Amino acid sequence: MKYNSFQTPERRLLGAGPTNLYPEISKSLTKPEVGHLDPKFVEMMDEVKSMLRYLFQTKNEFTIAISAPGSAGMEASFVNLVEPGDKVIVCVNGLFGGRMVENVERIGGEAIVVNDEWGDPVSLDKLEDALKKNPDTSVVAFVHAETSTGVRSDAKEIAEIAKKYDCLVIADTVTSFTGIPVLTDEWGLDAVYSGSQKCLSCVPGLSPLTFSDKAIEKIKKRDSKIQSWFLDQTLVLDYWSGQGKRSYHHTAPINSIFALHEALRLACDETLENLWKRHFDAHLRLKKGLDEMSFDFVVEKQYRLPQMNSIHIPDGYDDFEIRTKLLNDYNLEIGAGLGKFAGKIWRIGLMGYNARNESVDYCLDSLKNVLNK
């Protein structure tokens, strides 16, 4: 049996990530290989750290990219900051909040769940009630941009309430990072993670992560050993530390880090303010078109994520059939509903490279044609 090289179809990726790559990022993947302890590679890693600090808006010394996707950033935050028996309040208003609960329980922590309806933001009152009832809580965790529903929660207020009760704050910013403001230091977030394939439009498989000094203190004071060897951040501190001396922990995914460096460079060059504006402008253009086709948004206006637009599937249309037509006839991928929203909503992602007029117009035209609107 002889196999042919895989022929990639040229899709337009307007789902929940991955997105289409910036052309510069595609090019960066084919750079010649170097050793992951090569001084030139190490220099580049230092730039990765400093660019991540700007994009996370933090001075945190511990700011790195985990060699695994966003889910690993989530798991790293929990395994490092939660010990067996610790009480953790998890705000759940969608699929990814549910995964946080899984993480806490697998560690042997006690998860106190603050539930909100899918499509609603995290309720600040419910969070405060839960903290009043459980003043011995050590961590509050929430998803800033819930990709499964397209809702933005108020990270600043959540962190402020958590701090009143002396809790560390874990924030999932996988979809918010560089698409809407993520102000790590100003808001007082202690563990913040993201993913490479959402608003950075980089290849999947890397998870930017930053820990505050308070988070590092907690890790150093732990009684129990961190359950995961790979995600034990005390072991990679040496590798990422800027002191020049690197020791082997695991082989870095070198080419993916070339791509990440390029993605971060492009983001820094464009500046956060311009990135936020570009995502918002793309959203407004999409919204105008969707309004004209009488689509209803799932999320109330003030909580909508510009980079993740959830709309109800109109009566009389079959979810799978329409998405299959979009893919086959227009090479267009949009996101399906997840969990309790499966078959009920579509999620149109305008992330990074795709947050521009041309992608929006292509999406609207394709939808119009397929729905005969």
Ligand X SMILES: *Cc1c(COP(=O)(O)O)cnc(C)c1O
Residues of this chain that interact with ligand X (CB under 6 A) are 17, 69-71, 74, 96, 143, 147, 172, 174-175, 195, 204
Q: How far is the CB of 223 from ligand X (least distance, A)?
A: 29
Rounded Cα–Cα distance for residues 289 and 368 (Å):
10
Q: Among residues 107 and 206, whose Cβ is nearest to ligand X?
A: 206
Q: How far is the CB of 363 from ligand X (least distance, A)?
A: 19
Beta bridge partners of 297: 311
Q: Among residues 109 and 205, whose Cβ is nearest to ligand X?
A: 205
Q: Among residues 143 and 226, whose Cβ is nearest to ligand X?
A: 143
Q: How far is the CB of 96 from ligand X (least distance, A)?
A: 4
Which amino acid is it at 157?
A: E
Q: Among residues 74 and 131, whose Cβ is nearest to ligand X?
A: 74
Q: How far is the CB of 99 from ligand X (least distance, A)?
A: 7
Q: How far is CA 270 from CA 266, 267, 275, 352, 353, in A?
A: 6, 5, 7, 11, 12
Q: Among residues 17 and 352, whose Cβ is nearest to ligand X?
A: 17
Tokens of 18: 């991955």
Rounded Cα–Cα distance for residues 65 and 67 (Å):
6
Q: How far is the CB of 201 from ligand X (least distance, A)?
A: 13
- DSSP string of 320-345? HHHHHHHHHHH-EEEEEP-GGGTTTE
Buried b / exposed e across 143-177, counting CB within 10 Å, b at 16+? bbbbbbbbbbbbbeebbebbeebebbbbbbbbbbb
